[in-house]
Amino acid sequence: MKPADTGDTINAMAIIEQAQPGHATLRRLPRDLIASRELLLDLVRKDLRVRYRYAALGFLWAVLEPLAYMVVLTFIFERVLAPKSGTAMFGPGIPFASGLLCGLVFWQFTTQCLSAATASLLDNQNLVKKVCFTREVIPLAAMGYPTFSLLIGFVVLLMVNAILGGTLGLSALWIAPLFLIQLSITVGVGLFSAALNVRFRDVGYMVNIVLLLGFYASPVFYDLDWVLAAAQSGDVPAIVVQAYLANPMAELLEAYRQALLEGRTPNGWLFVWPACVAVVSLIGGCVAFRRSAPTLSDYL
């Protein structure tokens, strides 16, 4: 019998690796995603169509949702609680509605992405079990609608801020690196939670609880200076403040407000910790997902 040619063996191994993307190395992930871009876009388009197919207002709900939150919370905090406390929720010159909407829009992006990504593999288990493709496409596609909602919400934020007398300066360009950091954190954590949720179905409930707590443990409807002032005065133990600042969204939301609403370059320390978390989260999430991808079908 004629021994197999070495070149044929290498080609066969390459074909097997392409057919089983979960076994591929992390270095191949960008190339695999580019090769699967059409599937990714198709899944995002399908999600958008299905979400608003039977809604009379259609995509208008993406505008009404953040506005509804803003109106309700503005009434509660500015009209009911603020007069009693005698303190402003945000810094001087920042209308409460603008400050609230700025925190709300970017916070909801992370919340919606993580919730959707965590449940994405379970929601698409038939596709995962029957078709061979780059598995990362599923949780990434689940983040398509939150990204679309963020774009709409960002436009609404700019409009509301302009109506209330706010201006937009060159400091708004800092939104790009800030969002890149936030996106890296969200993608990394989303990939990790999506893979872990397949094996342990409790993860989905845990993610929802953590996100609910994170809403109050992030400066969404109040200023970060409140927390720092409480630490300096000793009203809050230092260890509690350190745990609070370990949440990278605390720094990011404050940096967004400084860049958009205060018209100044965000403080440098607001970038450092979130950037470190972004690198670790993105690499760790991608590695964890790639390693678990070959066995995902066994748990679905």
pLDDT tens, position by position, 66-119:
778 777 777 776 666 555 444 556 777 788 888 889 999 999 999 999 999 999
pLDDT band at 289 (very low <50, low <70, confident <90, very high): very high
For residue range 28-81, list pLDDT tens digits in order: 888 888 888 898 999 998 888 887 776 666 667 777 777 787 777 777 766 665
Q: At what angle do helices 96-123 and 248-260 cross, to 10 degrees?
A: 130
In sequence order, the 6+-apart residues with CB closer than 8 A to the CB of 224 are 250, 251, 253, 254
pLDDT band at 207 (very low <50, low <70, confident <90, very high): very high
Residues in the chain: 300
- For residues 182 and 73, which has the higher predicted lDDT (pLDDT)? 182
Residues 143/186, Cβ–Cβ less than 8 Å: yes
Q: Give burial (CB, 10 Å; 0-12/13-18/19+) of 256.
A: buried
d(CA 216, CA 270): 19
